[in-house]
Amino acid sequence: MKKLEMVSNATTKKMHPHKFTLWVAMGSLIMMFAGLTSAFIVKSNQAGWKPVTLPSVFWASTVAILISSGAIILALRSFKERNMARYRLLMIVTLLLGAAFIGLQWVGFEKLWEQQITFKGSGAGQFLYVIFGLHALHVAGGIVALLVLVAKAFVGRVKIYSSVPIEIAATYWHFVDLLWIYLLVFFLVIGQR
Partner 1 sequence: MSETTTVQVVEVKHAATHHEEHGHHEQSFISKYIFSMDHKTIGKQFLITGIVWAIIGGFFSVLFRLQLGYPEATFPILETLFGKWAKGGQIQPEFYYSLVTMHGTILVFFVLTAGLSGTFANILIPLQIGARDMASPFLNMLSYWFFFLAGVVMAASIFVQTGPASGGWTMYPPLSALRQAGDGQKIGTDLWLVSMALFVVSSLLGGLNYISTILNMRTKGMSMTRLPLPIWAMFFTAVLGVLSFPVLLSGAILLLFDRNLGTSFFLSDIVINGEVLPNEGGSAILYQHLFWFLGHPEVYIILLPAMGMVSEILSVNSRKPIFGYMAMLGSLFAIAILAFLVWAHHMFVTGLNPFLGSVFVLLTLLIAVPSAIKVFNWLTTIWRGNIRFTPAALFAIGFVSLFISGGLTGIFLGNSTIDIHLHDTMFVVAHFHIVMGVASMFGMFAGVYHWFPKMFGRYLNNTLGYIHFWVTIAGSYLIFWPMHYQGLAGVPRRYLDKRGWVNFNQFGELDKFITVVSIIVFVVQIVFVVNFFYSIYKGRKLRTENPWGANTLEWTTPINPGHGNWEGDIPEVHRWPYDYAKDGREFIPQTEPVGASESKH
Is position 8 an interface residue for partner 1 (rule: CB under 8 A)?
Answer: yes
Residues belonging to the chain: 193
CA 35, CA 135: separation in Å to the nearest integer?
A: 13
Of the two residues 60 and 150, which places its CB atom closer to partner 1 in the complex? 150
106 touches 140 (CB < 8 A): no
Is position 1 an interface residue for partner 1 (rule: CB under 8 A)?
Answer: yes
Amino acid code (one letter) for 111: K
Contact region with partner 1 (CB under 8 A), list: 33-41, 80-88, 104-112, 177-185: 33-41
CA 106, CA 94: separation in Å to the nearest integer?
A: 19
Task: Name the CA radius of gyration of the chain, rounded.
Answer: 20
Phi, psi values for residue 70, rounded to 5°: -60, -40
19 touches 167 (CB < 8 A): yes
Is position 169 an interface residue for partner 1 (rule: CB under 8 A)?
Answer: yes
Closest to 167 in 3D by CA, of 41, 66, 47, 80: 80
CB of 105 to partner 1, least distance (A): 17
Q: Which of 60, 66, 140, 145 binds partner 1 (CB under 8 A)?
A: 145
Is position 11 an interface residue for partner 1 (rule: CB under 8 A)?
Answer: yes
Q: Which of 54, 79, 126, 179 binds partner 1 (CB under 8 A)?
A: 126
Is position 160 an interface residue for partner 1 (rule: CB under 8 A)?
Answer: yes
76 touches 166 (CB < 8 A): yes
CB of 100 to partner 1, least distance (A): 20
Number of residues lying near partner 1 (CB under 8 A): 58
Residues in CB range of 102: below 8 A, 6 or more apart = 136, 139, 140, 143
Interface residue list for partner 1 (CB under 8 A): 1, 3-9, 11, 13, 15-18, 20-22, 24-25, 27-29, 31-36, 39, 42-43, 46-49, 119-123, 126-127, 130, 134, 141-142, 145, 148-149, 152, 160, 162, 164-165, 168-169, 171-172
